Structure 1
Amino acid sequence: MRICLLTPDPGHPLLAATAGLLRPRHLVESLDPNAGDGPPADRLGPGPLADVYLLKARTPRALAFARHLEERGAPVINSAAATRFCQDRTGMAELARSAGLPFAATRTTARLADLAEPGFPLVVKSRYSRRHDLVARVDDAAGLRALAERWPDEPVVTQPYLANSGWDQKLWVIAGQVFCARRRSELAEPALVEPVLVEPAPAGAAAGAAHGSPFGPGDLPAERVDLARRVGEVFGLDVYGVDLLDGPAEPVIVDVNAFPGVRGQAGAPEALAALALRVAGRGGASGPRVPGPRGAWWPTSSR
């Protein structure tokens, strides 16, 4: 089989480990979908397409590149449509709640200055997910004004800040196999002007120890495992992350990410390698997975 990684960072630990598992018997290549000039057809060059492409990039150029591959019949994990959909937090919340998923109540506003009587504390996020976007907790009107001055024209979504332990449950799913860790929430403290940037804690036992107890897939209640898998069905994703508030209350989803890092999780490279070979073996006959009950919703904005 010929497997191609669509990424600017083929050395990412998950991708590198997956490639290492595949290379003894298969050809593994990498291609940066953001590099080069011209349309996707010119950047692909001559010759046959790979048997499967793994899309770990979210820029508009990368998504256009993946969509071109799909139009030519190549299987892409995750599909361009599903990857793009998860960048729009408004659409994400609407689809999740319409499907009965316990997603945090989400309100969309064109600008922070337009928020009227928001109620504090609240969580403010850029509507369109991207690197270094806005994610902040705001506790009062002064904090909101400061954010509005720093991000004057940013379309945002707001969610009520829900009491929790200060940690997030990070669930990652690869073809139905669930991995997890606890990570310190970037919203544990309020932000005034700049959102708090928190470096990811080590996964697995180290992250659990920081929280006071080990935390792995065996520690997840069965209903949370089922919930994580249901998210993939609703959003048309094969490789994805689900962020849950960590607390005794009913689970609340606060974010869904297409093809996250899944660092330090034993068995994750093996699961990804097996998925790539399985999809390559199908030859894309089933078509790309896309979000929504009928797979018909494609967001109109990619900002």
Structure 2
Amino acid sequence: MRVCLVTADPEHPLLAATTELLTDRHQVEFLDPASWTGPAEPIDASPAGLADVYLLKARTPRALALAALLEERGAVVINSAVATARCQDRVEMAERARAAGLPFAESRYVPALTQLAAAGEPPGPLVIKSRHSRRHDLVARADSAAQLRALAAAWPDEPVIVQEFTANSGWDHKLWVVDGHLFAARRRSELAPEGRGPTLPLPVADLPASWTGPALRVGEVFGLEVYGVDILDAGGGAPLIVDINAFPGIRGQAGAPEALAELAVRAAVRATKPLPFSRTPITNTPPLPAS
């Protein structure tokens, strides 16, 4: 089998361990979306040209555009471009999760942070997040109008979502799923007074079914096979989902590379080989978004 990892960082611990498991019997390739020049670049979409399965670790706009084109040419991509994009837009994420009955934090969209700051004193502590999830995006707590003005000065035109701050222990519970296999850890939240802390192991057996059930259902609701769910204890053990990530790092979790390798092989085996296509670029493909 030919397995292609769509990533700018093939040395990432999860990917490196998965590659080591696969290379004895399969061919592993790497594709950096940054090296792709756009839809006009010819792609070999013959059965011999496409890999049997692509693992979409990168989540930049360029990576999503590349994954969408590969899928259009008949490739098997995990997670799909559409499913990944759902987790990049926090407005769509919240709407989809809450519509499905998942215990997701109530979220309000504000087109620009300056609008929120102009509203004056907030009724209580707020969590402010960039609408579009990306590296180095905005995630902050604001308890006062002064703090909102400071954020607006630094991020004046940033579209954001706003959530009421939920009192909690200061620890995020990180639940990761790879093809139905559940892994867990806990990490001190970046919103805690002490700031972000280390990630500590958390046995899945210690989690209540009221947490693991919704975490596993996220895959069905969002069409994801590899994903992460951030959960807070909202009081009395009630779970509150505050974020969902497509293809997270899942560092230091025994069994995660094995589960990912098994998923890749199984997806490649069950996939129907695509029919031959012309190498002529597709003319109606949207323009390449900025990285």
What interval of TM-score do these two structures reach, taking the shorter chain for normalisation? 0.7 to 0.9
Q: Secondary structure at the match of 1:5?
A: strand
Q: Report the RMSD for the aligned CA atoms in angstroms.
A: 2.1
- 2:22 paired with 1:22: yes
Instruction: Identify if the C-alpha distance between structure 1 residues 220 and 147 changes in structure 2 by more than 3 Å, giving closer, same or farther.
Output: same
Q: Which residue of 2 aligns with 1:253?
A: 241
**1:273 Cα shift?**
0.5
Whether the aligned pair in 2 keeps the contact of 1:170 and 1:182 (CA below 8 Å) is yes
Q: Find the aligned partners of 1:78 and 1:66 in 2 and give their Cα distance.
A: 9
Structure 2 residue aligned with 1:296: none
Task: Give the distance between the partners of 1:49 and 1:111, measured in 2 at CA.
Answer: 42
Matched, 1:243 2:240: no
1:277-301 superposed Cα distances (whole Å, 9 cap, x missing partner): 111011158xxxxxxxxxxxxxxx9
Counterparts in 2 of 1:35-46, with a 5 A limit?
35-39=35-39, 41-42=41-42
Write the distance in 2 (CA, Å) between the matches of 1:154 and 1:18. 37
1:174 aligns with one of 151, 175, 178: 178
Q: Which amino acid aligns with 1:104?
A: A
Q: What's the secondary structure of 2:3's corresponding residue?
A: strand
| CA deviation map 1:55-87 (0-9, x unaligned) | 011111111110111011111000000111111
Separation in 1 of the partners of 2:99 and 2:176? 22
SS class of match (1:34): helix
Instruction: Give the count of matched residue pairs.
Output: 271
Amino acid at match of 1:37: T
Q: Of 139, 142, 146, which residue of structure 1 is paired with 2:146? A: 142
Q: How far did 1:133 drift?
A: 0.5
Per the alignment, residue 215 of structure 2 pairs with 228
C-alpha separation between the residues in 2 aligned to 1:152 and 1:236?
34
Deviation digits for residues 109-156 of structure 1, max 9, x if unmatched? 011221236422010000111110000011111111110111100000
Which residue does the alignment assign to 1:11? 11
Aligned to 1:112: 113
Partner Cα separation in structure 2 for residue 262 and residue 86 of structure 1 = 17
Q: Which amino acid aligns with 1:96?
A: A
8 A Cα contact 2:210 2:238, kept in partner: no
The answer to whether the aligner puts 1:218 opposite 2:215 as a matched pair is no
Q: Secondary structure at the match of 1:252?
A: strand
1:201 aligns with 2:198: yes
TM-score by structure 2 length? 0.88
Q: TM-score, normalised by structure 1?
A: 0.84
Q: Distance in 2 between matches of 1:15 and 1:40?
A: 29
How big is each residue's C-alpha offset from its partner over 1:144-198, in whole Å with a ceiling of 9 and x where there is no partner? 11101111000000000001000000000000111000001011139xxxxx6x4
In structure 2, C-alpha distance between the alignment counterparts of 1:241 and 1:260, rounded to whole Å: 6
Deviates more, 1:36-45 or 1:256-265: 36-45
Secondary structure class of the residue paired with 1:128:
coil
Residue 225 of structure 1, CA deviation: 1.3
When structure 1 is superposed on structure 2, of 223-232 and 117-126 the one drifting more is 117-126
Q: CA deviation at 1:203?
A: 4.2
Q: 2:188·2:199 contact (CA, 8 Å) conserved in 1?
A: no
Q: Which residue of 2 aligns with 1:153?
A: 157
For residue 134 of structure 2, give the secondary structure of its aligned residue in structure 1: coil
Relative distance call for 1:284 and 1:241 in structure 2 (3 A) is: farther
1:278 pairs with 2:282: no
Structure 1: runs of 5 or more not aligned? 191-195, 205-214, 286-300
Give the equivalent residue in structure 1 for 2:71: 70
Q: 1:102 aligned to 2:103?
A: yes
Match of 1:58 in 2: 59
Worse-superposed segment, 30-39 or 162-171: 30-39
Provide closer, same or farther for how the CA distance between residues 221 and 55 of structure 1 changes in structure 2, counting only shifts above 3 A.
Answer: same
Identity %: 63
> Would the aligned equivalents of 1:203 and 1:264 in 2 still touch at CA under 8 Å?
no
